[in-house]
Amino acid sequence: MKPFSDDDRGEMAHLIRKGLTSFDVIEHDDDLATAPQKAKAHALIRSINEYWEKPKIAIKRELKCAFWEEGGYGDWIESSEPFSLRNCSKELASEFISYLVEYCFMHDIDFYMKDLHLTFDVNRQMFLCAKYNRCFATGAKRETNVLHLHHVSAIGMGGNRNDVDHRGRYFMILKAVLHDEIHQIGYKAFVEKWHCGTIKLTGEDVLRFGLMSRKQMNEIDDELEIQSWQIGA
């Protein structure tokens, strides 16, 4: 434990509240997993455990073993867990958290997304939210919430949305109430508050969200090809 560390003071206070008053003092190592990393990993494991309704110790071991095997980290004694969050490196903890987050998205598991930006790549978070149709700010799912597609690059007054090529535009998926909020406080204040961002619409995104048809995209591409040919003539 590192003296005067905010993370360690918070962790010690949490342990004392749980009634633990005896501690082992070990030499501090800056390369070891941080308290926020441990907390986020355990929170994600709890969410996965609640979803599958398995004994906590069983699901934790299953997740660690699957992560270790899929990552090709090497052999371990099968009667034990391949690693412990208590003494693993920051890098390994970060990779394990990434594995757990992707696992939750893949299996449509609800989890607490607040403060995820502290331990997980925000750009990857936005990509996963877009891929699995979740609110970029809260992780809310389409099945239980009204979600809106928010264009960060506005079409403009008088512009016909049907004539616009939406590919390459920046967008966000937001709960209805948050879609109203971003219009009220502005993009910069919103992303600072919710620690999220945008991604660019691909052709597949545009089709998936019903913003354009394949025919519209082909017509625009043909027109651009003609214009390019005329300019080069």
52-86 burial, b at 16+ Cβ within 10 Å, e below that, comes to eeeeeeebbeebbeebbeeeeeeeeeeeebbbebe
Domain that holds residue 101: 32-119
| Pair (132, 210) in one structural domain | yes
| Residue 34, number of CB atoms within 10 A of its CB | 18
Query: In the prediction, which pLDDT does 7 show?
Result: 59
| Pair (42, 66) in one structural domain | yes
The answer to whether 171 and 155 have CB atoms below 8 angstroms apart is no
The answer to whether 100 and 64 have CB atoms below 8 angstroms apart is no
Residue 71 lies in a domain: yes
| Pair (181, 139) in one structural domain | yes
Query: In the prediction, which pLDDT does 157 show?
Result: 43
For the cut 90, the answer to whether the pLDDT of residue 90 exceeds it is yes
146: amino acid identity, one letter: V
Instruction: Single out the residue in 73, 94, 119 at which a domain terminates.
Output: 119
Instruction: Single out the residue in 102, 119, 136 at which a domain terminates.
Output: 119
Mean pLDDT of the chain: 83
Closest CA to 12 of 84, 3, 28, 87: 3
Alpha helices in the chain (DSSP H): 6-17, 35-52, 56-71, 90-106, 122-131, 176-185, 187-194, 203-208, 214-232
pLDDT digit string (tens) for 140-160? Answer: 998 889 999 898 865 544 444
pLDDT digit string (tens) for 60-72? Answer: 999 999 999 998 8
Q: What's the Cα-to-Cα distance from 122 to each of 98, 128, 136, 191, 194, rounded to whole Å?
A: 11, 10, 10, 11, 11
For the cut 60, the answer to whether the pLDDT of residue 4 exceeds it is no
For residue 33, the 8-state DSSP code is P
123-148 burial, b at 16+ Cβ within 10 Å, e below that, comes to eebbebbbeeebbbbbbbeeeebebb
Residue 24 lies in a domain: no
pLDDT digit string (tens) for 109-147? Answer: 988 887 888 888 888 899 899 889 899 999 999 888 999
Domain count, the chain: 2
